[in-house]
């Protein structure tokens, strides 16, 4: 069965960077795009970007351009999302989610990783 | 890219039907048939309920249906049940990126 297992909770100071991992299993890793979505406490879902695990190509939401980097390691079937220059507003649960087949239909989700930015 | 517009809340009694709207523009909802709907219970990851406007993933009850007219997509929940009480989010492709709606809290009275 498809599983997306994310790394554990993080506490970071303002200005620091965080790197969240998402290890995939139960399917051919390179066949499906992976998205990153975040949710601030009590707020809605926010799309951050997408990575093609096959070639590594990415597309990011304009809001995060210059601050976010999504990468993948095909040898371990893992995707990563690194967010830099953290500020308090980046405190949120970060989810990886696998696309159904390229239409942005996020059918499988990781368990979420809480990132807290606090001085 | 602006978020899609959803009503903050909706409600209905058990057995009734409720429809949640999701309004975008011709650059997102109106321009592509790639609208998805997600259900999220407190403390849980979202769950895909509808994709490509009106398709249901395996395991989603047929009480959930989706449609689109122009720049507005809609999710209809028929025969409301207590477990349908949750937050619902729409999402649309917007040309190499995706955008979510602000979410609608559905209350089953």
For residue B87, the model assigns a pLDDT of: 98
Across the interface, do A109 and B45 touch by the CB < 8 Å criterion? yes
Q: In chain A, count of helices (H) and strands (E)?
A: 0, 11
Does B48 contact A at CB distance below 8 Å? Answer: yes
Interface test with B, best of A33, A44, A94 (most B CBs within 10 A): A44
Task: Choose among B34, B45, B57: nearest Cβ to A103.
Answer: B34
Q: How many CB pairs under 8 A join A and B?
A: 70
Pick out chain A residues at pLDDT < 70.
none
For residue A101, the model assigns a pLDDT of: 81
Per-residue 3-state assignment (H helix, E strand, C coil) for A19-56:
EEEEEEECCCHHHCCEEEEEECCCCCEEEEEEECCCCC
Across the interface, do B52 and A103 touch by the CB < 8 Å criterion? yes
Rounded Cα gap, residues A34 and A51, in angstroms: 5
Interface of B with A in 50-79 (CB under 8 A): 51-52, 57
Chain B contacts of A59, Cβ < 8 Å?
Answer: 96-97
Across the interface, do B93 and A112 touch by the CB < 8 Å criterion? no
Of the candidates A60, A30, A53, which has an alpha carbon nearest to the alpha carbon of residue B96?
A: A60
For residue A54, the model assigns a pLDDT of: 95
Pick out chain B residues at pLDDT < 50.
none
Smallest CA–CA distance from B57 into chain A, residue: A107
Across the interface, do B91 and A107 touch by the CB < 8 Å criterion? no
Chain B contacts of A35, Cβ < 8 Å?
Answer: 98
For residue A103, the model assigns a pLDDT of: 85
Rounded Cα gap, residues B82 and A89, in angstroms: 34
For residue B79, the model assigns a pLDDT of: 96
Q: In the Cβ-directed half-sphere of B76, how many Cα atoms lie within 13 Å?
A: 12
For residue A108, the model assigns a pLDDT of: 97
């Amino acid at each position: 069965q498809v599983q997306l297992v994310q790394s554990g909770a993080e506490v970071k100071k303002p200005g620091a960077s965080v790197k969240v991992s998402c290890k995939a299993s139960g399917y051919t890793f390179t066949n499906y795009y992976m998205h990153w979505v975040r949710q601030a406490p009590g707020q809605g879902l926010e799309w951050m970007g997408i990575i093609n695990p096959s070639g590594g190509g990415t597309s990011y939401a304009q809001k995060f351009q210059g601050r976010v980097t999504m990468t993948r390691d095909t040898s371990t079937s893992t995707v990563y999302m690194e967010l830099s220059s953290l500020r308090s507003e980046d405190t949120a649960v970060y989810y990886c989610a696998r696309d159904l087949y390229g239409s942005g239909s996020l059918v499988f989700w990781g368990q979420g990783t809480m990132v807290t930015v606090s001085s | 890219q602006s978020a899609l517009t959803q009503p903050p809340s909706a409600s209905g009694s058990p057995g009734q039907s409720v429809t949640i709207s999701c309004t975008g523009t011709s650059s997102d909802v109106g321009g592509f048939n790639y609208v998805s709907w997600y259900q999220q219970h407190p403390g849980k990851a979202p769950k895909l309920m509808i994709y490509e406007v009106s398709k249901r993933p395996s395991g989603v009850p047929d009480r959930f249906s989706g449609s689109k007219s122009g720049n507005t997509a809609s999710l209809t929940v028929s025969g409301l049940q207590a477990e349908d009480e949750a937050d619902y989010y729409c999402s649309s492709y917007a040309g190499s990126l995706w955008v979510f709606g602000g979410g609608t809290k559905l209350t089953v009275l």
